[in-house]
Chains A and B, each alone.
Chain A
Amino acid sequence: MGIAFVAGLGVGAGLTSLMRPQVSQLTPTGTATLEAPKYTTVSPARRKEVFKLGVVTFQTGAASIFGIPALNAAQLLVDQINQAGGILGAKVELVVRDESGGPDKMVAVYRELTQQAGVDAYVGLISSADCLAVAPVAEDIGTTLTVFFDCATKQLVDRGMMKKVTFRTGGTTVTDGVALARYVLEVMPDVKTVVGLNQDYAYGRDEWADFKNALLTMKPDVKVLDELFTPLFATDYSAQISKILDLRPDLVHTSLWGPDLVNFIKQATARGLFQQTRVAFARGEFGLYEGMPDDQIVEGPHYHGFPDPKAYYINRDFVEAYISRFGSPPPYPAYHMANAILGVKYAFEVAAAVENVEWPDLSAVVKIFERLAYATPGDYIIMTPNHNAMRGAVVGISKGGKLTALKYMHAAEVNPPVGVLSDQWVKSL
């Protein structure tokens, strides 16, 4: 029986592998990444019928609160794009995979989507570790436009990991930290003491470090009373709340998300923490829907109320369509996904127009994407030659489950310029 099982698997795998995907092969030259790669297309690009868009994001596990709204937005946008004629006349087809299993599975999924399923573009990845694992592989294979839509690690930029076909249409932990620090200093110019409460992994440490460095550079007399790091998905924050209640800081910084954010808010509210100190949430938008107390500093980093839907029709249409289809306003992962998918669409369309062909090849798309600026529901995305987006952030004060006193921190004020390392730039503020 075992033999039959394995033989069956082998036959099935063999048959599927023999059906090779029909994509034009690109051969990058040289192994040095400093020179611009030259591409040669094997077959002349013709108009396509179907544009396969691979989307990889969390559909299960605790991070699914980000992944599922993102996927919702993807489905919404794809339907809208198809109704308007598709991308260059090709109907967009979503190929969705779950982001669970760790970075090594994500590398396998990337290869499956690009080499087996033959997607025309890959949009994905919320977890920084997954992005950092997939980026070198994407660059190495070099056949498919790869767009990271949500992961926030600054290493992708600082280490120059995105040179050929990889892009990120979002900001980094530096964007979050500097925007939040700037807003804090505007609404609390006399802040003296701060405590950090973040999750104990690279994202939590990066968010805290970037916020702390920005705050201390802009106001050196602030004292950091303590830096607390909690295990990911720890359900009980009573010890940390106790410690904060004892320390009595002016401000608490936190980048907690998901169930951790909800647990913290509920437990802190029950203990009366918010009466005593103010909390700045680096990614607090979800907290607004889960009982965020009033008068806290919340960074979205996107928010459905910005740009004001009454004035900005792109956001109005997006929010209305999302609410009517999914029942609640779009959270920030939906905006991130919109940034990525629209980026892909415009890159292909503009490249085709510039090159004056029916279907652009990848090198043209990459060249265009590096300098593309486009309007999206939540933002105006400016792509830069280091393949990362210049993107602003929305910060505000919470009130009744909504965000008020909104301020949009402009992209140029919260992102380092191209070629400058993030940490160096923060120190120079």
Chain B
Amino acid sequence: MRGWLSVVAFIGVAAVVFAAGGDYLKFVAAYVMMWSLAVWGAQLLLRYGLVNFGIGGAYAVGGYAAGLLYRHFGIAEVTLHILTAVVAAGLWGLLSGVVSARVRGVQYALLNLALSMVLYSILLKFYWATGGSDGLYVPLPRFFDASLGDLGLYLLALFFATAWMTLGLVYSQSAAARLADGVRINELRVSALGAHINRQIAAASALASVSAGLGGLGVAYVTSHVSPHYAHWSTSGELVVAALLSNFLPQPWGFVAGAAAYQAVRLFSLQFVTPELFVGVALLATLGLWRYYRR
């Protein structure tokens, strides 16, 4: 199901889940919807052919926006959190995009990984200000004096997910998306046609970081906690894998489904003696299925 109809259908599914599901399912749904924003960001960069192992940096910036505002200034206002997360993550994305747009391939991946790990180290070291590896408590946000509550948080997650689906729809019709595909396929040709590729990549990096930052903010809300682990490259790795999964599924809802599939497998795996084996086999099975259906 493509296009606008799928967005409406998604809202319907989310409503059913909230109405009929137990507390745990509602939590997982909200968690997945928030996390999927970061997956969207990773997927955006994948469209350029860029594998970003440092997207956890922006993801952490968003989460820490809420954590630090609450810890040092006592601010729990959701609008302020969102504003700070967007601005901070956008700046992070712009800077890291400008810096890393000069390289491609594994150098790009590694440069972003190093940048996010520098942020991780800073978050870890300055632990009197950032809470260090213990992390920070993130309260339920307030919207102008009213606490958001479970329903409010779920609606916020749903709003984000649908907004990003819409954004994805709009984006895929835009010139920027065509350019992205071009850069992935043959960069020399696109630049010969007159495009400023590095600028495009920096802009895309900013957009992807804003997505990841809001994703991190949302996950921090849903789990009431943010920790430097958000910036670790293993978190970026999970996001990249979920984005790769999402590439198998049709847009605009693919990124949510990919995020849901990955999280479902990961959370389910924790009951086994070796969760990694389970996740590894599941990922290989998915790859195999994909190849089989596309042969």
Spell out A's residues near B (CB within 8 Å).
1-3, 5-6, 9-10, 13-14, 16-18, 20-21, 59-60, 96-98, 100-105, 107-109, 111-112, 115-116, 128-129, 132-133, 136-137, 140, 153, 155, 200-203, 205
Contacts and interface: CB of A to CB of B under 8 A. Distances in A.
B142 interface: no
Interface stretch (B18-26, B107-115, B163-171, B179-187): B18-26
Contacts of A98: 269-272, 275
A136 B224 contact: yes
* Chain A to chain B: the 10 pairs with minimum beta-carbon distance, closest first: A133-B225, A17-B25, A2-B249, A201-B133, A116-B24, A107-B223, A102-B229, A202-B132, A115-B24, A202-B133
Nearest to B31: A108
Interface in B121-135: 124-125, 127, 131-135
Contact of A105 (B24, B257, B267): B267
Contacts of A3: 1, 250
Given A1-B293, A108-B31, 9 more contacts: A10-B13, A14-B17, A17-B20, A59-B273, A60-B276, A98-B269, A108-B28, A133-B135, A153-B134
A410 to B, nearest CB: 28
Contact of A129 (B22, B133, B260): B133
Nearest to B225: A133
B235 A108 contact: no
A256 to B, nearest CB: 15
Interface in B1-39: 1, 13, 16-17, 20-25, 27-28, 31
Q: Which of B17, B131, B257, B276 has the most CB of A within 10 A?
A: B257
A5 B273 CA distance: 25
B266 A107 contact: no
Contact of A201 (B28, B124, B219, B257): B124
Interface of A is mostly: helix
Interface string B211-234: 000000001000111010100100
Given A2-B250, A3-B1, A200 B124 contact: yes
B270 A109 contact: yes
Contact of B224 (A129, A140, A153, A155): A140
A115 B282 CA distance: 26
Contacts of A60: 274-276
A314 B20 CA distance: 49
A132 B226 CA distance: 10
A97 B270 contact: yes
A108 B17 contact: no
Given A60-B276, A129-B133, A103 B267 contact: no
A205 to B, nearest CB: 6
B135 A103 contact: yes
Given A13-B264, A17-B20, A136-B224, A200 B125 contact: yes
Nearest to B132: A202
Contacts of A14: 16-17, 20-21, 25
A8 B235 CA distance: 26
B227 A103 contact: yes
B97 interface: no
B134 A9 contact: no
B219 A104 contact: yes
A20 B249 contact: no
A146 B229 CA distance: 24
Given A13-B25, A102-B229, A108-B28, A202 B273 contact: no
A13 B254 CA distance: 18
B260 A6 contact: yes
B143 interface: no
21 contacts: A1-B293, A10-B13, A13-B25, A14-B21, A14-B25, A21-B22, A98-B270, A103-B227, A105-B267, A108-B223, A109-B270, A112-B24, A115-B27, A132-B134, A133-B135, A133-B225, A133-B227, A137-B223, A155-B134, A201-B133, A202-B134
Interface of B: 1, 13, 16-17, 20-25, 27-28, 31, 124-125, 127, 131-135, 137, 219, 223-225, 227, 229, 232, 235, 248-250, 254, 257, 260-261, 264, 266-267, 269-276, 289-290, 293
A115 B254 contact: no
Nearest to A10: B13
Nearest to B260: A9
Contacts of B132: 201-202, 205
B24 A128 contact: no
Contact of A17 (B24, B137, B227, B267): B24
Contacts of B223: 103-104, 107-108, 133, 137
Given A2-B249, A155-B134, A201-B132, A105 B266 contact: yes
A16 B22 CA distance: 9
A116 B24 CA distance: 6
A203 B227 CA distance: 14
B258 to A, nearest CB: 9
Given A59-B273, A132-B225, A133-B223, A17 B21 contact: yes
Nearest to A159: B137
A6 B9 CA distance: 13
B267 A136 contact: no
Contact of B127 (A9, A16, A112, A205): A205
A112 B235 CA distance: 21
Contacts of A205: 127, 132
A135 to B, nearest CB: 9
Contacts of B273: 59
B133 A102 contact: no
A130 to B, nearest CB: 9
Q: Which of A1, A97, A133, A155 has the most CB of B within 10 A?
A: A133
A132 B135 contact: yes
A107 B225 contact: yes
B137 A136 contact: yes
Q: Which of A1, A59, A108, A137 has the most CB of B within 10 A?
A: A108
A84 B175 CA distance: 72
Nearest to A134: B225
Contact of B23 (A16, A109, A111, A200): A111
Contacts of A107: 223-225
